[in-house]
Structure 1
Amino acid sequence: MKDSTMNKLEILAESAKYDVSCASSGTTRKNAHGGIGSANGWGICHSYTADGRCVSLLKIMLTNFCLYDCAYCINRRSNDIRRAAFSPKELTELTIEFYRRNYIEGLFLSSGIIKNADHTMERMLRVVKDLRTVHQFNGYIHMKAIPGASSELIYQAGLYADRLSVNLEIATESNLQRLAPEKDHQSIYLPMRHIQQHLMENKDARKKYRHAPQFASAGQSTQIIVGATDETDHQILALSAKLYKRPSMKRVYYSGFIPVNGYDKRLPVVKDVPRMRENRLYQADWLLRFYHFDVNEIVNDQHQDLDLDMDPKLSWAIRNPQFFPVDINRASYEQILRVPGIGIKSAKLIVSARKHSKLNLDVLKRIGVVLKRARFFIVCSEMRSFKFVQSSEAFIRLSLQEAPALGAIPQQQLSMSLE
């Protein structure tokens, strides 16, 4: 590999590392005869497929030159950093060389904006098109769609990339305007709508025509920066819930604010990335997508932010004692799914297993239920029914946080009593 290519790789991989929206789940692109790579399943990051398999991606920018001067971005126009740019041919060959050496299984491609949106998008499109058509590369490709790019270019990109994404960055329009005056939500939502429209049209076309090309089989995703502005978790999750109502939106990623431009007075002074808040938002996001929770059950006007000391499902359960206890042998799947310590797989196994016999604590443990949490909110064949007699949230929290090992808790110490 040439020294010039290595230098560019070092610079542009470093510039790309702050974009977290690069999961490779949801695609089924298979290897074709005579092709290389398969998506079943310096700049190298790890991501996961829908079945949980870890894959390696070359996470790179086409260039870190940019017309914009966003306060939160390391690649902002006014920053005095090393700049570089790959030609489409260079980046295509680099990707193939990394694949042949077994370094990667796919590509995550983004770019700064040069000249204009269409010019940047055209150069990125040349990379993914050559990978597919010239080199017959069938690995996973995630490509950023540039706000302001034409609908036709976005359509062409979706024919070669498995996933497209457009980052919202800041959850509210006012704060986006304050930190990135050259951007607005309208210009970001427009390519999102283009992607959704093309996906729906492609779905109809594939029903009519067997060999119709597939468009962005893994849908689209976006990223929201957390902690750079004053949005509450309620505002962020309410926005995520609206985005998930769009059939094309697969993932919203939450990126804890990293103070790369400490000199900008518009940004908050932070010492550490808010990792715990980021983690809680992902947990709440999971409840929205898979546990049938409404956003106002997780956060609302009374509870604007997620509890950093407790996961959102447990926090909801403590605030809503009227829903408990849940009878494991009689309750519906939806009710069981809301019990802390019981996940989707465990809930399904419970519903299936209780058809054959009544379930007790030992069976629940073998199924995979986290009894340290769940036992406060359930009854089963060897436990008599409990009811909450003390609604003090602090008392319940203390009982849960200081709970000793299973079987060692005297009943009079619990925040529940026998009926």
Structure 2
Amino acid sequence: MNLAAKLAILADAAKYDASCASSGTDKRHSAGAAGKPARGLGSTEGAGICHSYAPDGRCISLLKILLTNACAFDCLYCVNRASSNVARARFSVDEAVKLTLDFYRRNYIEGLFLSSGIIRSPDYTMEQVVRVAKALRVDHGFRGYIHLKTIPDASPELIAEAGLYADRLSINVELPSETSLKRLAPEKDLRAVRRSMGGLRSRIEEAKADKRAPRFAPAGQSTQMIIGADGSDDRAILGTSANLYGSYRLKRVYYSAFSPIPDASARLPLAAPPLMREHRLYQADWLMRFYGFSVGEITEAGGMLDLAVDPKLAWALRRRDRFPLDVQRASREDLLRVPGLGKTVVDRILSARRFRALRVEDLRRMRAPVEKALPFIALADHRPSISLLDGAGLRERLAPRPRQMALAL
């Protein structure tokens, strides 16, 4: 099989992995210091690192491939499982390195996202993945972004070596609960995943604490959960995410809506979940990490997120007794809970209100989404009526139209 045919198979096989962002690493480039020659190849600086997006919104600026889609495991939700009848291919280490360099030189990519099916054993697979990253860094001086998907059952020494060459490492938990993982992916061990995450956290923190230590995965670690392959509700999914953030200091949890696969098991759902559910989970995740919301506050009584409106607006509509909020006196924490007000706008409000009483036009100049926020705030020239806050039509008025929802996705 020629290289182009392999690429077609192995790039397509990698499309189900959403956790390939490129943010958070050290800034590096190939230019040398003043008066000195350039060192290495590639860069992690500038907007170009995430310059291209797929129709569904996922970033494709990294060369995103599997080393092979042949896998010894038989995870029922995976198109590359051992019992699948898809076409198989495998890159050699040299082929993966050549592709990365060729794509970079053509200005198609700024880095590499590399994962793999399990070949022979976890240690053998991890060794092959590390060899690609090492060859790029050591043999070719590649200074672009590298994200490696690690194999949980691989030896700690191999995973530790991977962190010396990668900007980010990730280990997918795949499903929100251990019960679901045992039912759909019996060869995978959640305890092994968590052990590996714990080991990565320790090494990342040690490298940051000791400035003399070699760089180790400076962009941290991430993981991914498949949404809709089992019966877990959004509360369970977000609860797992909150636990992972707290226990292992992950940079990101990625959510990937389950996509029905050929010759699927009867234990899997027949249809994919709404893509809007994935979108709402990302919004809820953001509220937990940056806005001080707890899992219990975000989810509805039934454990699911409201697909019609964003999680912050849904929360505010359930807590109308807390509004309207006086913008002139409210704390930063309370202002961050107002629909439409993000961190940047809130910081501008806190700075400006020290000098004058704020009005609607002031918020417009701050580029706040005024129409969304006004029902929940009081300003010098605006106070919403009680009937507006209590009115049954407020949700319908603030909910995005179908075209706006499509654009959001």
- TM-score normalised by the chain length of structure 1: 0.88
In structure 2, the partner of 1:413 is: none
Secondary structure in 2 matching 1:254: strand
Structure 2 vs 1, CA of residues 287 and 259 (structure 1 numbering), >3 Å: closer, same or farther? Answer: same
Quote the residue 1:165 is aligned against.
170
Tell me the equivalent position of 1:407.
Answer: none
3-state SS, counterpart of residue 247 of structure 2:
coil
Match of 1:221 in 2: 222
* In structure 1, distance between residues paired with 2:396 and 2:82: 50
Q: Residues 395-414 of structure 1: matches in 2 within 5 Å?
A: 395-401=393-399
Matched, 1:322 2:321: yes
Q: Residue deviations 1:207-264, cap 9 Å, x none?
A: xx3xx21100000000000011100100000111111113530000000010013531
Distance between the aligned counterparts of 1:93 and 1:399, measured in 2? 54
Query: In 2, distance between residues paired with 1:46 and 1:60?
Result: 18
| Contact 1:154 1:194 survives alignment (8 Å) | no
Check if 1:282 corresponds to 2:278.
no
Determine if the alignment matches structure 1 residue 147 to structure 2 residue 145: no
The answer to whether residue 357 in structure 2 is matched with residue 358 in structure 1 is yes
- Contact 2:309-2:399 at 8 Å conserved across structures: no
Residue type of the alignment partner of 1:313 = K
Q: Is the 8 A contact 2:20 2:147 kept in 1?
A: yes
- Structure-2 residue corresponding to 1:30: 28
SS at match of 2:180: helix
C-alpha separation in 2, matches of 1:244 and 1:366: 36
Query: 2:4 corresponds to which letter in structure 1?
Result: M
Contact kept, 8 Å, 2:226 with 2:256, in 1: the verdict is yes
Amino acid at match of 2:268: L
The reply on whether 1:130 has 2:131 as its aligned counterpart is no
Q: Residues 13-412 of structure 1 correspond to what in structure 2 (within 5 A)?
A: 13-32=11-30, 33=32, 34-41=39-46, 56-206=61-211, 209=212, 212-246=213-247, 248-270=249-271, 272-299=272-299, 302-384=301-383, 386-387=385-386, 391=390, 394-401=392-399
Deviations 1:172-213 (A, max 9, x none): 11111111111121122121112111112222322xx3xx21
2-side partners of 1:58 and 1:128: how far apart? 13
**384 and 170 in structure 1: CA distance in 2 versus 1, 3 angstrom threshold:** closer
Cα 1:401–1:284, aligned 2, differ >3 Å: closer, same or farther? closer
Which shifted more, 65-74 or 192-201? 192-201
Distance 1:115 1:75 in 2: 15
In structure 1, distance between residues paired with 2:82 and 2:60: 33
In 2, Cα distance between equivalents of 1:226 and 1:249: 19
Distance 2:144 2:306 in 1: 40
CA distance in 1, matches of 2:343, 2:262: 41
Write the distance in 2 (CA, Å) between the matches of 1:274 and 1:61: 27
Matches of 2:387 and 2:135, distance apart in 1: 64
Shift of 1:89: 1.3
For residues 340-375 of structure 1, the C-alpha deviation after alignment (integer angstroms, 9 at most, x for no partner) is 011111111111111222111111012111122111
Structure 1 counterpart of 2:119, one-letter code: I
Q: Distance in 2 between matches of 1:76 and 1:190?
A: 24
- 1:18-48: CA deviation from partner (whole Å, max 9, x where unpaired): 100000010124124321101124xx98679
Write the distance in 1 (CA, Å) between the matches of 2:365 and 2:172: 42
SS at match of 1:223: strand
1:402 to partner: Cα distance: 9.6
CA distance in structure 1 between the partners assigned to 2:163 and 2:296 by the alignment: 34
Deviation string for 1:349-404 (max 9, x for gaps)? 11111122211111101211112211110000102465468757x4442453499x
Q: Which amino acid aligns with 1:222?
A: T
3-state SS in 1 of match to 2:169: strand
SS in 2 for 1:148: coil
Name the amino acid aligned to 1:350: I
Q: Name the amino acid aligned to 2:326.
A: D
Partners of 2:198 and 2:248 within 8 A in 1: no
Which whole-Å CA distance do the structure 1 matches of 2:203 and 2:368 have between them? 42
Q: How many angstroms apart in 2 are the aligned matches of 1:350 and 1:364?
A: 8
Alignment-derived partner of residue 405 in structure 2: none
What CA distance in whole angstroms lies between the structure 2 residues aligned with 1:249 and 1:176?
A: 20
| Structure 2 gap ranges (5+) | 33-38, 54-58, 402-409
In 2, Cα distance between equivalents of 1:140 and 1:134:
16
Shift of the 264–386 alpha-carbon distance from structure 1 to 2, 3 Å rule, reads: same
- Percent identity over the alignment is 51
**Cα distance in 2 for residues equivalent to 1:402 and 1:180:** 38
Assess, with a 3 A threshold, how the Cα gap between structure 1 residues 137 and 362 changes in structure 2: closer, same or farther. same
Counterpart for residue 5 of structure 1: 3
* Equivalent pair of 1:379/1:386 in contact (CA under 8 Å): no
Amino acid at match of 1:375: L
